[in-house]
A = this chain, B = another copy of it.
Amino acid sequence: MKREDFVVSTLGKATLPSPVVGQAFVSDGETVCYETDAERLAQYIRNNEEIPAFERAGAREKIFHDPAWSRAAILTAGGLCPGLNEVIKFLTQTLINDYKVPVVYGIPYGYRGLNPARKLSPVTLTMEMVDAIHEEGGTILGSSRGQEDTGIIVDTLMRMNINMLFCIGGDGTARCAHDIALEIKRRKLAISVICVPKTVDNDLNFIDQTFGFATAVLQAGPYITCAHSEAKGAYNGVGLVKVMGRDSGFIAAYTALSNPFVNYCLIPEVPFTLEGEGTKSLLPHLVERLKAKHHAVILVAEGAGQELFNSSEERRDASGNKLHNDIGTFLKGEINRYCKEQGIEVNVKYFDPGYAIRSVKAVGSDAVFCAMLAAGAVHAAMAGRTDVMIGHWAGQFTHVPIALATSSRKKIELDSTLWSNVQAMTCYKQQKPQK
């Protein structure tokens, strides 16, 4: 990690006084260190290196864009996630109430709404319109997957006189936003492009948690109780629950710790075998448990066990995400098959709560998080930042260059406190992958 990877792009010098009143300002030099260990930090100084650190987010005393001349646009892209409407509400509110920005557009159906060929009309967002939207799941703007031509999008921004574009979306959305920001730079335009990172899987690097993740974990918890009831309610009952997590098992790991009825927690980061290694393999281990306890709860992330499929071809969705084979249905079948072969009765009840977990509103601290991310995004835009994502690190809100944030996916570290605790509470100690 180098300090320069953390440097955020700016459209120009911020010289206008901020109209924001009654709030504290963040100075431009304030940072949030990437690392937290005192000794490692001291090393940088002793080595005459700059400490790698994020720029701190927040309202600035001087701003770049003149609010009176500003026209903002907000879009949501990718799959649903709890909190989208809360983010839209607070973006709108901060723009209109705090900065007195006269025009805030809501772009329908993601980037698609910026392509005139799609014949979709933007809506003008007002305080009245967003008043109660935090009570609804989903996104009032609609969303879509897939890319539109970057040049056409920038043409549209120019034609609409938009000088701030807020893109709420995941990895794919952020990459598009980066391309748009580069094109804007190439054309020497003064348009800020700010991402509010949305990934219910919580798999963005350099961002300790993404909005919606906590609500998704909250929603997933009761399914474990249900699976446990179904498992105990039948002889040799197995409650099998699949949760989201394409490449990272955060939802699965958090759900397991939040509702410790889980006996098996299978995540993409740790491969496992079905048979062939005795009770190191899943199915013989499960049969041993059923013989002893007559019930089990298995929690599996959608991206786990992909190595068990003989897939010659790789499929991707419109956002470029790898399409997974359905590990849930597959495991249900394999458990039934194996138990039948072993002459063991088994009763598998399968839960696939996927969409139900992500299409609700954000609640509690997660909704607070949405509000603060949104406010931070507006402050960043007004201060002239661009090509930047609002992040959170070590208890502070941060500016993360989009290129840094999308450089790799965050995964569960197998020697982390998180995974150690999951291993401690579940009965199946998966083998760590050989590196």
A260 touches B425 (CB 8 A): no
Complex: chain B residue closest to A393, CB-CB: B395
A375 within 8 A of B: yes
Identify A135's interface contact among B31, B36, B225, CB under 8 A.
Answer: B225
A226 touches B356 (CB 8 A): yes
Identify A355's interface contact among B31, B80, B230, CB under 8 A.
Answer: B230
B259 touches A365 (CB 8 A): no
A305–B420 alpha-carbon span in the complex (Å): 46
Known interface pairs A372-B417, A417-B397, A424-B98; A41-B41 also in contact (CB < 8 Å): yes
B225 touches A137 (CB 8 A): yes
Q: Mark A214-239, 1 if CB is under 8 A from B, else 0.
A: 11011001110111111011110000
A415 touches B24 (CB 8 A): yes
A355 touches B349 (CB 8 A): yes
For residues 350 through 367 of chain A, which have their beta carbon under 8 Å from a beta carbon of chain B?
350-353, 355-356, 359-360, 363-367
B417 touches A254 (CB 8 A): no
A423 within 8 A of B: yes
For residues 123 through 153 of chain A, which have their beta carbon under 8 Å from a beta carbon of chain B?
132, 134-139, 142-144
A51 within 8 A of B: yes
Known interface pairs A134-B260, A226-B360; A38-B59 also in contact (CB < 8 Å): no
Which B residues lie within 8 Å of A56 (CB)? 37
Report the stretch among A42-50, A163-171, A183-191, A308-316 that lies at the interface: A42-50
A residues engaging B (CB < 8 A)?
20-24, 29-33, 36-39, 41-42, 45-46, 50-51, 53, 56, 58-59, 80, 89-90, 93-94, 97-98, 109, 112, 132, 134-139, 142-144, 208, 214-215, 217-218, 221-223, 225-230, 232-235, 254, 257-261, 349-353, 355-356, 359-360, 363-368, 371-372, 375-376, 393-397, 414-421, 423-425, 429
